[in-house]
Structure formats: structure tokens, C-alpha cells
Amino acid sequence: MKEEKRIIEINGIKMEVDLRTAKRIDEFKVGDNIKVLKKVNDKFEVFPGVIIDFVDFKDLPTIQIATFKIDYWGNHLDFMNFNSETKGVEITKVSEHELVLEKERILDKFMKEIEKKQNELDELVSKKNYLIKHFSKYFKDTE
């Protein structure tokens, strides 16, 4: 019986595969929740993400991904392209036991941030109006 082992490389990972018995195929579709392992400042971080598009370029098929980061400074939505030339990034499916990104939860986080920024804007407008009203005699009107 002839052995049908072959060494293959996928995005920098070399594997010896017995083509008779083992095949692993990850299937992704638009809207799938995924985890993205990304190198940030010489260390790796895991971000939740969602596949938003598959772009079937002839020379470089690409998966477009939206990633989310929620931290002390707010909510960050970033977009990235993942293909065979992408360095320092890996993706994997979210297991069934993990929390998945839910549209309503993400929208709630963004609404809270919008409200926070709106309050900051309202405060600045109020200060400007106060300045105009109470300190106008000290300033010349310039047109």
C-alpha cells in the first residue's frame, strides 16, 4: 500500500498530511463569529471578530473581517483584510461554549459611547455660550 503523505504549508504553518485519512476543512461564511489572534506591539492579543465579506481576487483571495475591542478608552471597531500574505494574524472559529458577539450588545456599547460624546459636546457648547454671554464685553466682534 502506497503512502500518500505530503508536507503542505498554509499561511506559514507546515503540516505533514496523510491524504488517505486526514482532511481538515474549516468552513467560514459571512456573519460567522471568529477569534482573531493579532500581533500588537510585539505581543499577541485575541479579538472577537465577524467575517463581513469574501473577496475573490484572482491572485489574492481575501477575507474581510471586522474586529472589536472594548476597553477603558471606549469601543473600537476595526476592519482588516486576511489573506495568504497577512503576517502576524490567525483566525479561528468561536467554539460553541464561548460568548458570541451579538448585534444588540455591540450597538448598546456604541450607543453608550455616543451618549458620552454627546454629553461632552453639550458641555462644550454650554461653556461657549456662557463665554459669549458673560464675557462678550471683553471681546471685539470680528467678522
129 or 142, greater pLDDT: 129
Identify the three-state secondary structure at position 121.
Answer: helix
CA distance 82 to 65: 7
Grid cell, residue 120, equals 461632552
- Cα dist from 93 to 43, 74, 85, 133, whole Å: 21, 25, 20, 58
Threshold 0.75, pTM exceeds = no
pLDDT in tens, 69-115: 877 777 788 889 999 898 889 888 887 766 666 677 777 877 888 89
CA distance 91 to 126: 47
The CB-side HSE value for 28 (13 A sphere, CA atoms) comes to 21
Grid cell, residue 87, equals 503576517
How sure is the predictor about 65, in pLDDT bands with cuts at 50, 70 and 90?
Answer: very high
